[in-house]
Every structure is written in C-alpha cells, then in structure tokens.
Amino acid sequence: MELPLGCKAFGIGSSSLKIDNWLRTWGKARRNFNFLLVLAGSRTAEVKGISAAGATAESRRYTAIADAELLLKGPDCKRSWPLPPLAAGVSPALISFVSARWIGIEPLVIAVGLEHRPSFPHLCLELPSFGPANCLSTGKAMDVVRVQGLWEKGLLMGRKMREPLLIAESVPGGTTTAQAILTGLGLSVKDLISGSLRNPPMDLKNQLVSRGLFSAQLTSKPLPHRLIAAVGDPFQAVAVGLLIGAREAGQEVFLGGGSQMLAVLALALEATKLSNRAEFINGVVVGTTAWLVEEGQNSSRSSSPFLRLMEQVSKHFEVDLLGVASGLRFHSSKRQTLRDYELGFVKEGVGAGALSLLAQVRGASCKDLIDNCERAVDSMRVDFIS
C-alpha cells in the first residue's frame, strides 16, 4: 500500500511495514474512528508578540472557540464567535472543515481552561471558572490537583474507546508550552519549535521557558503531571490521559498537529515503563501539514526543525516515531488567503494536516481539496473581532 500523491512519511519509524499498518487502520476500508478536538487556554498566549493566532491578546482569548465553530458550522453560517484577525491567511480550521466534510465526520469538542464558554455542544471536564492556565513564565501554570484531575478524566475517556482515535487541538500559545514541556523533560529543543508567526519569536519563547522552569524549581526528572502544572496547559493534561487510555484499550491513535502533539507524546512516554514503550508507540502516529514538515528546508540544513524535533524525541525515549504529512499545497490556488500558507503565514492547527491527509487516503485529490477550500473561502462570512 502507498500513501496518496504528495503525502510523505517521516521519522525513524517510517518503514514500509508501519506505513502499511497505518493505511490499513485509517484507509478507505475503515469507516469509523473517534475524533476529539480539545480546546484550551493559557495566559501564555497573551504575551505580546508570542502568537499570531489572533492579532491581539484579547482576540486570542476567542481563537480556540472560533476555530471550533468554523469547523462545526462551516464558513457560510453565522457564528457566535467571529474569527480573530490574522496578519495574513485564514484559520486552518477551514481546511479541517473541508476535510472533515469529505470524510463525513464531526468532532466531539472538549473544552478546558477557556476564558469564555462555547455556545455550541461540547464536553466540559471541569468547572468553567477554572479559566486559562497562568503564563508558563510563572512556573505555576496550574494547580497539580487540577492537572491530575484532567489527566484522570482523559484516561477514563481513552479507556472507553472502541475505535481508533484522532486527537486535534486549538490552543493559542501552545507551541511555547510545548517547548517548555520538552525542555523540562531534558530535550534541547530551543531552536526546533516553530509557531503560528511567520518568523517565530525564538528569543521570546526561550526567555519565557527559562524563566518558567527556573521559577518552578523542579527536580532533574520531574513527574509528568508536576511538569505540566509548572509550565504546561490544560490541553496537555487531557490529551496525555486520552493517549495513554486509548493505547491501554488497544486502540491506535493519530495525533493531529505539530510540536504540541510531540510534547503530549513525550509526556506519555515519560509516564510509560521503558520496557513497554516500543509496544506503546507502535500504535501512535503523528499527522501534520507539509508546511510544517518542510519549514526552513531552504536553509543550510537539509532537514526542517520539525523533523529534527521528531528525531530528538525518538532518540531521547529510544522509540521509532512515525509521522505522516498531508500532500495538500496551495501553490496553484487562485485565492491569496490560501497561497499565504506557502509564504509561512499559517502552518498547522485544528488537525488540518491529519484531516486533509485522511481525506486524501479516502479518495480526495489535492485538486478536490483546493477547489473545496477556495469555495469555502469565497463563502466565508468576513465578520472579525478586533
């Protein structure tokens, strides 16, 4: 079996056997899978210059809800939460909407740590009054009891899975909390984490992470839940529980995203016995976009920061990670908002890479997806919050 045209496998675990196994699980013959979209908030996103997921700190408080509403309702419906303004491009939730509609699936939305309560149906795992996590620079992002509670609820949900599980997220500021988690686990990743900005603010991210880990005063090998409590976000606590629980239930898991999903995977591996890690990882694959996988490949290095990040995680935990990237590209699009992806203004989010890849695996051509994305852009209501 082969991946669709333009799609790429990467990582130390990218063997033909593992790719074949993944295609058998997620290909045309498979009708059902569980699709969970986790929305979460962190005050880290409110730091000036840290994120492009909304042009202002105020708008980034709405981003996760607006993304989910676009995915659920589509671009031509009136939405309660207008999309935040972006420097260029359009939310990856538009790609996710087009792809999910092609597949014929809708997500179960999980909301944790949001500033505002969504107006659409969702699963609430804690009281809305908990609100977003504190900025990771404090070293006290969340109470450890809160983290343990979210982890346990995710674990219980994961154990009940009877079909393969796709996890996606929308967490403004999430690449920075991911960097903090991976650094806290002992990986050197300060130059390998991208972000929503066209030119990610590496120095600012590094400063926040250093300040947060210094303030937290963790041990050299902190327990995963204590590390999340120090410098993480609510999504990570839920997603690690979901991942571990689904694997305990014998289900394969497709992690739709970039560095956030690698941070979740690293936390799960840290919580898994060394002797069980190979079996655990055999049923886990990371799915993302070509824009993230190929970011920075025009530099003097032959591989992108994300590919080197994958390699670091693999070597640190002594496992063979497999990643797959969608073949969707917008070079030929007639819409500037879509061509902006090719300029680096938008890269990933809301499971766009994983969902567009699954749409291709289930018969969509790149032209089908481009045409449908263009129609979605043309029909999009242009109400924005400022």
Question: Residue 197 — φ and ψ, nearest 5°?
Answer: -75, 150
Q: What is the pTM of this model?
A: 0.94
pLDDT mean across residues, the chain? 91
How many structural domains compose the chain?
1
Strand pairing category for 8-10 and 322-325: antiparallel
The rounded radius of gyration (Å) of the Cα atoms in the chain is 19
**For the chain, where are the E strands, in sequence order?**
8-10, 34-40, 108-112, 123-124, 165-170, 253-256, 284-288, 322-325
Please indicate whether residue 301 or residue 209 has the higher confidence score (pLDDT). 209
CB-CB contact of 141 with 232 (8 Å): yes
pLDDT in tens, 128-154: 899 999 999 999 999 999 999 999 999
- For residue 29, count other CB atoms closer than 10 A to its CB: 9
Domain coverage including residue 83: 8-372
Question: Residue 71 — φ and ψ, nearest 5°?
Answer: -65, -40
Structure tokens at 350: 């809301």
Strand pairing category for 34-40 and 108-112: parallel
Is the Cα torsion angle 12, 16, 17, 19 positive or negative in sign? Answer: positive
Place of tokens 């007639």: 334
User: Is 159 among the domain residues?
Assistant: yes
User: Is 385 among the domain residues?
Assistant: no
- Report pLDDT for 27: 85
**DSSP at 10:** E
User: Is 2 among the domain residues?
Assistant: no
- Report pLDDT for 381: 64
Structure tokens at 312: 């670091």
pLDDT in tens, 275-308: 999 999 999 999 999 999 998 765 555 689 999 9
Rounded distance between C-alpha atoms, residue 114 and residue 130, angstroms: 8
- Report pLDDT for 382: 59
What DSSP string describes 34-45? EEEEEEE-BGGG
User: Is 279 among the domain residues?
Assistant: yes
- Report pLDDT for 135: 97
- Report pLDDT for 48: 84
Q: How confident is the model at residue 384 (pLDDT cuts 50, 70, 90)?
A: very low
Q: In b/e form, how buried is each residue of 319-345, taking b as 16+ CB within 10 angstroms?
A: bebbbbbbbbbbeebebebbbbbbebb
User: Is 24 among the domain residues?
Assistant: yes
CATH number for the domain harbouring residue 47: 3.40.50.10210
Residue 83 in this model has a pLDDT that exceeds 80: no
Closest by CA to 141, choosing from 60, 52, 237, 48, is: 237
- Report pLDDT for 386: 39
User: Is 133 among the domain residues?
Assistant: yes
User: Quick one: which H or E segment has residue 19?
Assistant: helix 16-26
Residue 351 in this model has a pLDDT that exceeds 70: yes
**DSSP at 107:** P
User: Is 1 among the domain residues?
Assistant: no
- Report pLDDT for 73: 92
User: Is 118 among the domain residues?
Assistant: yes
Q: How confident is the model at residue 59 (pLDDT cuts 50, 70, 90)?
A: low
What DSSP string describes 298-332? TSSSSS-HHHHHHHHHHHHHT---EEEE-----TT
Mean pLDDT of 184-195: 89
Place of tokens 């130390």: 12
The full length of the chain comes to 386
pLDDT in tens, 214-240: 999 998 889 999 999 999 999 999 999
